[in-house]
Structure 1
Amino acid sequence: MSTVRNVLARARFYVREFSGEAAYDRYVAHARSHDPDAEVLTRRAFERARTDAREADPREGFRCC
């Protein structure tokens, strides 16, 4: 049973990393470690800022949609 649980935990880790879901968790941990009283963006605001930054990057090339 431990082996199955270990495999599932690793699979979950890779899926979260691949999908970008873990990025918000890393952001919150980083913000809290540097200033525990700092205001942290909501997940929605974080994802919006991430998307805006990605779309503004000229290395991404032209995207119409």
Structure 2
Amino acid sequence: MNVVIAGIRGIAGYLSGVLGADAYKKYLEHHEASGHAGPALTEREFWRDRTDRQDATPQGRCC
């Protein structure tokens, strides 16, 4: 049973990474590791900024 649960969590983690759902978490880790002086963006600010940048400079993506 534990193997099945671990497998499901692994698949969920993989899909989360592929879909970009973990982007904010990665941003926070990078922000902290880089030693930025200012505070990190809130999650809402992060997603707004990311969406705005993608709209302004569209690159190869499916949608």
Between Structure 1 and Structure 2, the one with more helix by share is 1
> Shift of the alpha carbon at 1:16?
1.3
Residues of 2 paired with 1:46 and 1:57: CA distance?
17
Q: Which residue number in structure 1 is paired with residue 28 of structure 2?
A: 28
User: Which structure 1 residue ranges, 5 or more long, are not aligned?
Assistant: 61-65
- What are the superposed Cα offsets for residues 5-63 of structure 1, whole Å, 9 maximum, x if unpaired? 22022122023113321000000000011117530001110000000010011546xxx
Kindly indicate whether structure 1 or structure 2 has the higher relative contact order, using CA contacts under 8 Å at least 6 residues apart: 2
After TM superposition, the score normalised by the length of structure 2 is 0.77
Residues of 1 paired with 2:28 and 2:59: CA distance?
27
Cα distance change on mapping 1:28 and 1:2 into 2, 3 Å: same
Q: How many corresponding residue pairs?
A: 60
State the percentage of identical aligned residues.
30
Q: Does 1:50 align with 2:47?
A: no
Q: Which residue number in structure 2 is paired with residue 63 of structure 1?
A: none
After TM superposition, the score normalised by the length of structure 1 is 0.75
